[in-house]
Amino acid sequence: MIFQTPFAPLAEALAARGYAAPTSVQAAVLEPEAHDRDLIVSAQTGSGKTVAFGLAMAGQLLEESGQARYAMAPLALVIAPTRELALQVSRELAWLYQASGARVATCVGGMDPSRERRALAQGAHIVVGTPGRLRDHLERGALDLRELAVAVLDEADEMLDMGFREDLEELLDATPEGRRTMLFSATMPKPIVALARRYQRDALRISTVDADQGHGDIAYQAMAIAPADIENAVVNVLRYHEAETAILFCATRDNVRHLHASLTERGFAVVALSGEHSQNERNHALQALRDRRARVCVATDVAARGIDLPGLSLVVHVEVPRDGEALQHRSGRTGRAGKKGTAILLVPYPRRRRVEMMLRSARIPAEWIAPPSAADIRAADSERLLATLLTPVEPNEGDAELAARLLAERSAEEIAVALVQAHRARQPQPEELLATDAPPPQGPRPGFEGSVWFRLNVGRRQNADPRWVLPLLCRRGHVSRSEIGAIRITANETLFEVPGTIAARFEAAVGRTAEADDGVEIVRVEGNPRNAARQAAGRGADRGANRGENRGPGRGGPPPGGKFKHRKGPHKPR
């Protein structure tokens, strides 16, 4: 199917941009039943929504000849949640309508408001902006919506999540009663339905989202890691994939700042996007990604909303998104316009169950895999280097002369080794991650003679597992993995040993790093350490006998101190 638009300037613009056939959402809004009607469109990110509503509103903007209608005030208003998305929409509509003579004005926070007011005063057929800035221009009398023919809310669900309901209502209330209203969004929660019911009439519902899969062109992977290993896992994921462009999502500005500094120190070409950056800084960061001066972007959810970067093939959720919708919106930065992409979730062990539930509710089939190890990265580097070096090349005269000089002074093997080392020296070094599937070493080890035993008030009934117990002990006690000896998990507590030479330092560290609200206690075991495991087993049996009387079936008794918060329901060790 080709684009069925009666307006020659739009058809020419699409052909010049290489558009041969419409996407699903573009074809849906061009159907006869959608003509001149209010629309509620649910389409996944990257499906061509901007061009879709640009084509859908052409009937309200253009004469039959394809030229823009004469108007004293804006005929179309497009509202987007973020500056980046609004600027992107403005650019798309500008090239789509350039030949028709329709003028596009952009009004976003962080830009010069006086310049925006001059653009509005000079006349604009289409106004694109963020809710807060548009409302400010409306209240100051710079934005006249009395002749508006069509209003478009792009990413409407995100605007409501960000608290723009009042702004949206004030803007829509200022428009004529007979205007056309289109809501475009990747998801359609209840607040959007309520908004549509208030401001739309006989709206046509269009959905091109596959109900059984979040994004068909995105491969989802989940990696269970130690909480203390998140930053190292990020390094290894980036090094293993070596994506043309990657985006890393963090929850807060502080975390963006910290991860950006850490990756920069390791040698990655990285930029940052968060609410603390000015619009000029954001533009420079995005341009660095587009022209390949940077390959990695660390961002918060809001800052990255609406970003469309060619070649973005990897999304890493450094911190678990709040829900399935946020996961899809983040991941939707890749897998766009028919290209394949990969979305990776880094999941701390204690949060794996929550993430599994989130994936099921969002109907996203994710593959649980181990994070890339240093050996995996070195193997991938070798394959990439071989592919590069074995690619046929046409040497120029200078290259051939230099090669001959090298061969005269060194053997081919020596030159090849030097080339490999030079290639690897330019790459950030991979990190050694804590053990994932292998249990920690059991029994006596050299250096553990005269060891001291400690007790952790978490056992099998609280889902204690060596895979997250070991990183917890290392983080709280400021020790390395090799300084933790035998770990013995009983029903309601865990016993472990540390070398006697560092026991005092370990005990002082766990005292300083204790968190009052997490209910996890680490204390030294007094008495004969040889009997520690037997004593723990006895305590677990006693509590198990009283479990039915005190707590009800399927729940463990309280740990020492009574502070640990048990999860509901029976559990099995993972």
3-state SS of 295-358?
CEEEEECCCCCCCCCCCEEEEEECCCCCCHHHHHHHHCCCCCCCCCEEEEEEEEHHHHHHHHHH
Report domain 218-375's class: alpha beta
pLDDT value of residue 471: 85
CB atoms within 10 A of CB 424: 13
Query: Burial level of 87, CB count in 10 A (0-12/13-18/19+)?
Result: buried
Tell me the C-alpha distance between 404 and 397, whole Å.
11
Tell the CATH topology of 452-550. Answer: Alpha-Beta Plaits (3.30.70)
The full DSSP string for 226-247 is: -GGGHHHHHHHHHHHH--SEEE
Tell me the C-alpha distance between 265 and 262, whole Å.
5
> Which 3 state secondary structure label does DSSP give 190?
helix
pLDDT value of residue 241: 92
pLDDT value of residue 127: 96
* Joined tokens for residue 200: 């739309």
Query: Burial level of 427, CB count in 10 A (0-12/13-18/19+)?
Result: middle
pLDDT value of residue 213: 45
Non-local (6+) Cβ contacts of 218 within 8 A are 315, 331, 332, 334, 335, 340, 341, 342, 343
Give the helix/strand (H/E) hosting 454: strand 452-456
CB atoms within 10 A of CB 337: 11
Tell me the C-alpha distance between 117 and 211, whole Å.
43
3-state secondary structure 369-387: CCCCCHHHHHHHHHHHHHH
Q: Distance between alpha carbon 383 and the CA centroid of its chain, in Å?
A: 28
Name which of 295, 262, 292, 297 is nearest 282 in CA terms: 297
Name which of 434, 529, 518 is nearest 486 in CA terms: 529
Tell me the C-alpha distance between 513 and 330, whole Å.
33
> Computed from CA positions of residues 407, 413, 416, 418, in that sequence, does the dihedral angle turn out positive or negative?
negative
Residue with tokens 């057929």: 125
Q: Distance between alpha carbon 50 and the CA centroid of its chain, in Å?
A: 22
Mean pLDDT split into 10-residue runs, the chain, 574 residues: 75 85 86 90 77 92 90 92 86 92 90 90 93 94 94 86 86 92 80 85 81 62 88 93 91 91 91 84 86 90 70 90 82 74 91 89 88 90 82 76 85 84 80 59 59 88 80 87 84 88 90 75 74 50 37 33 37 38
Q: Is 8-207 in CATH node 1.10.10.10?
A: no
> Which 3 state secondary structure label does DSSP give 79?
strand
* Joined tokens for residue 340: 């394949």
pLDDT value of residue 516: 61
> Computed from CA positions of residues 549, 552, 555, 560, in that sequence, does the dihedral angle turn out positive or negative?
negative
Tell me the C-alpha distance between 88 and 80, whole Å.
10
* Cβ(126)–Cβ(100) below 8 Å: no
pLDDT value of residue 549: 33
* Joined tokens for residue 410: 């060194």
Non-local (6+) Cβ contacts of 38 within 8 A are 180, 181, 182, 200, 201, 202, 203, 204
Instruction: Return left, alpha or beta for 444; rule: phi > 0 is left, psi -120 to 50 is alpha, else beta.
Output: beta
Fold match, 8-207 / 218-375? yes
Tell me the C-alpha distance between 435 and 484, whole Å.
13
What is the value of pTM for the model shown? Answer: 0.54
Which backbone phi and psi does 286 adopt, to 5 degrees? -65, -40
Give the total residue count for the chain: 574
pLDDT value of residue 557: 35
Domain boundaries, the chain: 8-207, 218-375, 452-550
* Cβ(306)–Cβ(82) below 8 Å: yes
